[in-house]
Amino acid sequence: MADAPANETQSPSGKSRRSLRPLTRLLPYLFRHKTMVAAAVAALFSAAVITLVLPAAVRRMIDFGFGADDPALVNSYFAVLIGVVCALATASSVRYFLVMWIGERVVADVRSDVFAHMTRLSPVFYDSAKSGEILSRLTADTTQIKAAFGSSASLAMRNLIMFLGAAVMMVVTSPRLSVIVLAAIPVILIPILGFGRQVRRRSRFAQDTLAEASAYASEMLGSVRTLQAFTHESRSAGRYADAVNAAFQAARQAIVARAALTGFAIMVIGASIVAVLWIGASDVFSGRITGGELSQFLLYSILAAGSLAALSEVWGELSQAAGAAERLSELLEIQPEIAAPENPVSLPETPRGEIVFQDVSFAYRNAEKMPVVRDLSLTISPGETVAVVGPSGAGKSTLFSLLMRFYDPVSGDIRLNGVALPDLDPEDLRRHIALVPQDTAIFGASIAENIAYGRPDASQEEVIAAAEAALAAPFIEKMSDGYDTIVGERGITLSGGQRQRIAIARAVLKHAPVLLLDEATSALDAESENLVQQALDRLMENRTTLVIAHRLATVLKADRIVVMENGRIVETGTHGELTAAGGLYAKLARLQFGAELDAETA
């Protein structure tokens, strides 16, 4: 695709094109394995040439071998023929191995690259993309590419060589008969090209539909408990079946086009061969050509016809693969909006963790008229703990996303240790921040791997120390395999409090100078709550902490409380000051911490 690179907010669904050009986008993957490709082409070429030699050998046998009186000569013809067959077998099997190897290799490389690319796209892209759809491109579309770069490409080349070779040999054998056969070719080729276009368009549509179905399936299976709790089984199954059926209908149309194409090609080819046989037979009678020559010509025309039929099929397959390649290229061409600058400033090994927001305004791309952060200025000194409170939707979490540079502000400036975020490599920036989100993402891996997520090279001792600091060690040690216990996908086999403590251990292990903490609102039982609180207190020590506070204990301990409403800071102060002021904070505190406050003052 030669167009300007797509940006992350553009939908990856495509514009329709009419050629095999998307496949060329994947050619560099082929060039990575030049030796194998060269060897495959050599094997392919040999097999084709040997096949082309066969009819000539057959003719010699018919015309000279059987007519000759010398049995030794006949034997030598057969011996040569066996040699030719052996060479053909070897070349074909080498060709098969190499060609399949290339197909598998290319598809593995494409998959790795697409996945690596997807992990680098910023959240802006994922705000509108569907992960299941992307997964479908990674699996279903790449499988089609495998066929194109492996078997189809090789079939195309082999048949092209065979067709050209056979055509030349036909003309050499009998120019008169060749005219009949070769005249049929344009009659076949023109519809092939037309059909190919149709096939590509329809198969792209089928793949798009299938990807949508996969997106739906992955979302539903990802929340299967909700699905069952709301007895949505039949509805979901029905909706998926409809989507799959739509993909089937689209595929069916593509198959109809291909079937018609194949039938048409065979008919035209068969008819011209019968015509050749007819005229050829009379030529043999009149002595214009020998029986052997007619046989040779027939074999060549069958070879040519077979190649042409195969080519028509391959054209269909390549067209299909072009649709898939187009869908993959679209993904590869989306440029991450948040990328490292050319010469990033690097943060010192032990940055102090000073954070400055200066007149920051921000709106999400899909709601540009609704700023979520407005002219916000806030300076947080190294080691300070700032609690952010505010009604739901005030923009508290967005502040975190901006600081981690998941999004760039529309205007204003955010700095860490005096360096503007766009001057930093986002990876470097994020290494200096530990995030404990409200909904912790736990992965289907061992507990140890989950804790070491932010520092995979951490030693077992460090992992255990982090778990101890996060007060997670006792429950981990009670598990069947301790730190090696595999937790279910998304940590489904852990309780809420356990998940939170693993998230805290993860943050402890990261040793980052800045801590972003989104306190969970979900009510834990008193004991878990207490454990989580203690673990957090330890984590906050000696770190610059920005915490979205949902607990009274947190706001009481904070050095400063910042109250947000509609994307602005409306009040700042300590709990005592703000309660005395009787503003928004006093109202929120009464609502949120009411019972706790009463207990505190009682």
Ligand X SMILES: Nc1ncnc2c1ncn2[C@@H]1O[C@H](COP(=O)(O)OP(=O)(O)OP(=O)(O)O)[C@@H](O)[C@H]1O
Q: Among all chains, which residue has been given the structure tokens 């995030």?
A: 435
Find the binding residues for ligand X in span 51-80 (CB under 6 A).
none
Nearest distance from C-beta of residue 223 to ligand X, angstroms: 19
| Segment near ligand X (CB under 6 A); pick from 58-66, 159-167, 264-272, 393-401 | 393-401
| Segment near ligand X (CB under 6 A); pick from 29-37, 365-373, 441-449, 493-501 | 365-373
Residue 122 vs 290, nearer CB to ligand X:
122
| Segment near ligand X (CB under 6 A); pick from 279-287, 361-369, 374-382, 528-536 | 361-369
Nearest distance from C-beta of residue 250 to ligand X, angstroms: 32
Q: Among all chains, which residue has been given the structure tokens 């992960």?
A: 131
Question: Do the beta carbons of residue 265 and residue 312 sit within 8 Å?
Answer: yes
Residue 395 vs 422, nearer CB to ligand X:
395
Residue 395 vs 454, nearer CB to ligand X:
395
Q: Among all chains, which residue has been given the structure tokens 């040519």?
A: 304
Residue 397 vs 572, nearer CB to ligand X:
397
Residue 372 vs 387, nearer CB to ligand X:
372
Residue 60 vs 374, nearer CB to ligand X:
374
Find the binding residues for ligand X in span 367-386 (CB under 6 A).
367, 372
**What whole-number distance in Å separates Cα of residue 345 and Cα of residue 343?**
7
Closest Cα partner for 589 from 575, 569, 570, 571? 575
Nearest distance from C-beta of residue 392 to ligand X, angstroms: 3
Nearest distance from C-beta of residue 163 to ligand X, angstroms: 55
Residue 1: count other Cβ atoms within 10 Å of its Cβ.
18
Closest Cα partner for 174 from 306, 300, 302? 300
Q: Which long-range contacts (CB under 8 A, 24 or more apart) does 519-523 make?
A: 519/438, 519/547, 519/548, 519/549, 519/550, 519/551, 519/554, 520/438, 520/439, 520/496, 520/550, 521/438, 521/550, 522/496
Question: Do the beta carbons of residue 331 and residue 137 sit within 8 Å?
Answer: yes
Task: Rule CB under 6 A: choose which of 46, 218, 361, 397 binds ligand X.
Answer: 397
Nearest distance from C-beta of residue 7 to ligand X, angstroms: 16
Nearest distance from C-beta of residue 369 to ligand X, angstroms: 12
Residue 29 vs 357, nearer CB to ligand X:
357
Question: Do the beta carbons of residue 490 and residue 131 sit within 8 Å?
Answer: no
| Segment near ligand X (CB under 6 A); pick from 173-181, 342-350, 362-370, 504-512 | 362-370
Q: Is 366 in the site for ligand X (CB under 6 A)?
A: yes
Residue 202 vs 430, nearer CB to ligand X:
430
| Segment near ligand X (CB under 6 A); pick from 152-160, 287-295, 309-317, 392-400 | 392-400
Nearest distance from C-beta of residue 490 to ligand X, angstroms: 20
Q: Is 396 in the site for ligand X (CB under 6 A)?
A: yes
Residue 366 vs 460, nearer CB to ligand X:
366
Residue 344 vs 412, nearer CB to ligand X:
412
From first CA to last CA, the distance across the chain in angstroms is 70
Count residues near ligand X (CB under 6 A).
13
Find the binding residues for ligand X in span 156-215 (CB under 6 A).
none
Task: Rule CB under 6 A: choose which of 398, 498, 544, 592 binds ligand X.
Answer: 398
Closest Cα partner for 144 from 364, 321, 11, 16? 321
Name residues whose C-beta falls within 8 Å of residue 236's C-beta, 6 or more positions apart in sequence.
216, 220, 227
Residue 396 vs 510, nearer CB to ligand X:
396
54 token code pair: 């066969």
Q: Is 393 in the site for ligand X (CB under 6 A)?
A: yes
Nearest distance from C-beta of residue 123 to ligand X, angstroms: 7
Nearest distance from C-beta of residue 363 to ligand X, angstroms: 9
CA 35-117-119 angle, to 5 degrees, is 135
138 token code pair: 């990674």
Task: Rule CB under 6 A: choose which of 119, 350, 392, 480 binds ligand X.
Answer: 392
Find the binding residues for ligand X in span 109-138 (CB under 6 A).
127
Q: What single letter denotes the amino acid at residue 432?
A: H
Q: Which ranges constitute the DSSP H helices of 61-130?
A: 71-120, 123-128
Q: Could you give the C-alpha distances from 125 to 117, 421, 431, 438, 562, in angstroms and in order?
A: 12, 20, 22, 22, 30
Q: Could you give the C-alpha distances from 317 to 148, 257, 279, 284, 378, in angstroms and in order?
A: 7, 12, 36, 41, 59
* Site string (314-353) toward ligand X, x via CB under 6 A: ----------------------------------------
Q: DSSP letters along 484-516, please? A: GPBPPGGGTTS-HHHHHHHHHHHHHHHT-SEEE
**Site residues (vs ligand X, CB under 6 A):** 127, 364, 366-367, 372, 390, 392-398
